[in-house]
Structure 1
Amino acid sequence: MRNSGGKKYVTSLLPLQLGKKIQEEISDFELSRALPGKVWFPDDAEYRAQQAEYWLRQEAKDLHPNCRVTPASAEDVANTIKVVVSTNSAFAVKAGGHSSVSGASKIDEGVTIDMSSMSRVEVAHDQQSVLIGTRARWLDVYTALEQYGLSVSGSRASHVGVGGYVLGGGFSWFSNQNGWTCDMVSECGVVLANGTVVLASYAHHSDLFWALRGGGSSFGIVTSFKLPALKHPQVYGGPIAFDDNELNSVFASFEKLNREAHLDVHSSGYLSFAYDQRHKEVYNTFYLINSRGEASSPAFAGFLRTPSRFSHLRKMNMSTSAMETNHSNDPGYRESKLTLTFRNDAALMCDIHSIFTYFAGTVDYEPEGRLAMTFQPLTASHIAHSDNALGLSAKDAPLILLSVELRWSSKSTTEYFEDVVRRFYETMRTLLEENEALHPFVYLNYAARWQDPFAGYGVESVQRMKRVRKMYGPDSVFDILQPGAFKF
């Protein structure tokens, strides 16, 4: 992630000799005048309440903006960005606040634009599409749609917010048949760097529309997404756990599920491991879903034939599944996260599991600390539906996307735990490189702050994104004044 470094001025209306404090006071005054009743300061109860509404402790506790703005419409966002730019104020934008990268959705001493008032979920009259505010959480979306017998391609975890998830790509239970969630978006409401409000789609601002799908937050502030509504009464699936002596069979079944995904695009799953401090062992969970609600999918045959120690498969609503997968995703901790992408290979999964088991046993955990990792299939059918900035090609698939999470509580131990994660990463990367299995793709939504997701998008995709950014934000507002987001 590239930080903007020293202070840079974009379209300054202020003499450079003005002190920082005066500049901040002018910014606060102008924001309060432009958005009366929607700007909050550290002495305000609303400010303190919003400060706590983050998934991870490093965002909730460590960063303290000068003020928080809560726009209620795209026009409010436009007025906010005009003031921010004219006063050269650094800012961050918070949608769901679920990022593990400190500073991605909150800023220290600048302006945090909190989109919490923009969480609508509106079903079109013909029930063919859904308009979703960027701050909605996926549980809100699923719950609102289930009364119509509908769903959308969205996050598998309930607490995740819509905005950042979609801009980074978005894994869903519908990815095999429809691609990333960003590929399903038909329209985005966007506020540009100059305060202009536009609707980006295939028909209008198509270059911007392409860049927003996977390109992150470097092009504007997205206020809403339109997605096609899916007729979707229930899914079938749930968690299964296996004894360690069955893992070779499980890895082989995972490799086959990934390789043969085109035979049943409605079935998918992910395989997770976590270290149990109390019993000093690694436990596993394979979570499967058939999006048609079919219990007899051949895609799951290998897993279901393997003796399990626990199984809770049944028909359920998407909201139930999303809440269930969120149980291992508790808020309130510090966390470091990373990701790697590699060749679909059961033997490599076994080797990575061995490395994980070794590292997990050497960590000096805090109470309730946890090390976990997840294998997710990145199938050819998933990538084949892609029309976005991510730079992936179906000819490289199937691939496995690995994510690793280490959580703790104390700020004073952050350096130690981040070093643990970095060493684990280097060990796994070396293994994959030695086996010529490492793929350059780094999934933006899972990347560590020291990883560079855009380096894996490919030169052509990055150059195109740069052209789009220059076209829609020639002053590089979202590159310079928004320092916490990933840059290219």
Structure 2
Amino acid sequence: MMRLARAIAISAVLFAGSAYADTCSSVEALGYINVTRPLSLAYLEEQSQYWSTSCSALKPECIIFPKTTEEVSTVVKLLYNSTEKFAVKSGGHNPNNGFASVDGAPLIVTEHLDQSDLDPATGIVDVGPGNRLDGISAKLQGTGWTFVGGRIGNTGVGGLVLGGGLSYMSTQYGWAASSVLEYTVVLANGTIAKVSKDSYPDFFKALKGGGNNFGIVTNYRLQAYRQANIWGGNLVFLRTPDKDTKLLKAVRDWTEYNTDDKASVIVTAERANLNVVDSWIIFLFYDGPSPPAGLFKNFTDVGPTLNTCRERTYADLMAFSNWVVVKGSVVQIATETIPLPSAENKVKVMDALHAHWRNVSSTTLAVPGIVASIAWQPFPKKIAEQAKRLSPDLIDADDDVDKIIIEMNYSFIPQTEYNRMADTMETTYSGVRNRVVGWQADGTLPDTYLPVFMNYGFYRQDYFGRLKPQSRALAKRVAESVDPTGFFRDRTGGWRP
């Protein structure tokens, strides 16, 4: 009877048409889906959960909190019969305005789609987009299974997996998306589809790196993997020019020579107002209680001021990592992918790119609250090999050349600086790109495919334009098939094929 009553209510609202011109009122009229309006505590709390205050400053007309796939379907049907813009939010870690945030229109938040249903015999787990990585790791703690997630606990599952998802365990298992076995997707017309490699192979591939172009994913059926305690933490170095040279050499050499797939590093440099902070922070990870002796010697020999690495649970590492989220700031993130230079060309390439970053970031150090960072993230051939082994994806990274994914971040307090800092960000990443293209042309670097990694992409970067033409064509073909009216293309933010 409850289902029948809801069906009648939905039909009545849809039939009313223009009488319910806005989706917020239409959903409220149904009476069973949670809707909050401005000034309510739930609304204010949810708006505070974005990583960037520029996203929090966009004020949705209402925030809708569906609890089931069917409720998401109902909301989408109502939106489909309107002309409103909208946004969908998982964890709110994407700082690009309008991608997971919206002004004056409905915001769908997946917070209550937080299922984590594990089959302890097979390790297959159903994960909802309302989970954050620290939450899902805590739920799996003690089961003997882990998921291939990201590196910062506060990150939402939805955006991470749809963008591909780079993990500490990527050399073992590829992208986070590589372990998805099936997606539950609400399409533009409200239809609910189960998408797997067998049911819809092109759609399945397009969802792995295709972002929010095809529907709202309400469940990720993932293959989890066996895991006991791990080892990890940070090394902190006070910056000197000598340490710059040594740590850039260390991450270059590591990317080429490391053969232990259980090990992972991220090498970051951080600067804050007027160089009050000027440091290196290295993230180390080993998928086991202790790394082999000397495995991370390249980094520890440089002489860290602080070392927090120890045996711990994966859940503890995820929770510990949240210190990197700078609360109360505008955040801008961009990325570039570079081929690994030879040892002979390390100074010409990596030292020059790092000097470029320091030169540009120096122009920002008087901006209130500024924190500028660059992360050098090894992307050895093994990651691409494992991704191809497990499941085809839209990124389709080649396994011919070792690479490094560079992440560039600026966080700052005044929102009035947003456009000026966006120009500075463009100068930062385009300077990297232009140098790399030049070095590829003169033979300093290999001429290889270098996609933009979606999870770190800046809104001005051409994500789909940097994919292989066949990948972009597949994404466009799938989008036109499952969303022929351009519902997601035209009415919500994101990159479009």
TM-score, normalized by the shorter chain, greater than 0.5: yes
Distance, in Å, in 2 between the alignment partners of 1:380 and 1:335 is 31
Distance, in Å, in 2 between the alignment partners of 1:324 and 1:40 is 32
Q: CA RMSD in A?
A: 2.3
Distance, in Å, in 2 between the alignment partners of 1:255 and 1:45 is 48
CA deviation after TM superposition for structure 1 residue 223, in Å: 0.6
Letter in 1 for 2:393: N
Shift in CA distance, 23/33, structure 1 to aligned 2, threshold 3 Å: closer
Size of the aligned set, in residue pairs, is 467
- 1:78 equivalent to 2:73? Answer yes
Distance, in Å, in 2 between the alignment partners of 1:300 and 1:356 is 25
Structure 1 unaligned residues grouped into runs of 5+: 1-12
Confirm or deny: 8 A CA contact 1:35 1:76 kept in the other structure.
no
- Which stretch of the first structure deviates more once superposed, 297-306 or 268-277? 297-306
Q: How does 1:45-60 map to 2 (within 5 A)?
A: 45-60=41-56
Q: How does 1:219-238 map to 2 (within 5 A)?
A: 219-238=214-233
Name the counterpart of 1:445. 455
Distance, in Å, in 2 between the alignment partners of 1:24 and 1:109 is 16
Higher relative contact order (CA 8 A, sep 6+): 1
Name the counterpart of 2:267. 271
Q: Select 2:107's aligned residue among 103, 106, 112.
A: 112
Identity of aligned residues (%): 23
1:141-190 residue CA offsets vs partner (Å, 9 max, x unmatched): 11111122321110110100000000000011110011000001111111
Confirm or deny: 8 A CA contact 1:365 1:408 kept in the other structure.
no
1:431-461 residue CA offsets vs partner (Å, 9 max, x unmatched): 2222224854111111111111111111100
Q: Select 1:250's aligned residue among 235, 238, 247.
A: 247
CA deviation after TM superposition for structure 1 residue 59, in Å: 0.8
Letter in 2 for 1:357: R
Name the counterpart of 2:236. 241
Structure 2 unaligned residues grouped into runs of 5+: 1-13
1:87-118 residue CA offsets vs partner (Å, 9 max, x unmatched): 12211101111101011112112211111111
Confirm or deny: 8 A CA contact 2:129 2:218 kept in the other structure.
yes
Distance, in Å, in 2 between the alignment partners of 1:222 and 1:392 is 24
Letter in 2 for 1:407: S
Name the counterpart of 1:390. 395
Confirm or deny: 8 A CA contact 2:22 2:84 kept in the other structure.
no
Q: Select 1:481's aligned residue among 488, 491, 495.
A: 491
Please state whether the residue corresponding to 1:139 is helix, strand or coil. helix
Q: Select 1:460's aligned residue among 470, 478, 497.
A: 470
Distance, in Å, in 2 between the alignment partners of 1:43 and 1:311 is 44
Please state whether the residue corresponding to 1:325 is helix, strand or coil. helix
Name the counterpart of 1:409. 413
Letter in 2 for 1:485: G
Distance, in Å, in 1 between the alignment partners of 2:429 and 2:205 is 31
- Which stretch of the first structure deviates more once superposed, 109-118 or 229-238? 229-238
Distance, in Å, in 2 between the alignment partners of 1:213 and 1:157 is 20
Confirm or deny: 8 A CA contact 1:34 1:80 kept in the other structure.
no
Name the counterpart of 1:10. none
Name the counterpart of 1:341. 337
Confirm or deny: 8 A CA contact 2:27 2:33 kept in the other structure.
no
Please state whether the residue corresponding to 1:394 is helix, strand or coil. coil
1:383-417 residue CA offsets vs partner (Å, 9 max, x unmatched): 1122201132112x311111111111112222222
CA deviation after TM superposition for structure 1 residue 127, in Å: 5.3
Letter in 2 for 1:271: V
Please state whether the residue corresponding to 1:385 is helix, strand or coil. helix
Confirm or deny: 8 A CA contact 2:373 2:408 kept in the other structure.
yes
Distance, in Å, in 2 between the alignment partners of 1:280 and 1:355 is 20
CA deviation after TM superposition for structure 1 residue 350, in Å: 1.4
Distance, in Å, in 1 between the alignment partners of 2:267 and 2:124 is 32
- Which stretch of the first structure deviates more once superposed, 210-219 or 437-446? 437-446
Distance, in Å, in 1 between the alignment partners of 2:95 and 2:175 is 21
Name the counterpart of 2:4. none
Shift in CA distance, 230/40, structure 1 to aligned 2, threshold 3 Å: same
Shift in CA distance, 371/38, structure 1 to aligned 2, threshold 3 Å: same
Confirm or deny: 8 A CA contact 1:269 1:376 kept in the other structure.
yes
Name the counterpart of 1:291. 287
CA deviation after TM superposition for structure 1 residue 37, in Å: 4.4
CA deviation after TM superposition for structure 1 residue 25, in Å: 3.8
Shift in CA distance, 317/29, structure 1 to aligned 2, threshold 3 Å: same
1:286-321 residue CA offsets vs partner (Å, 9 max, x unmatched): 211111233216542322333333322211111222
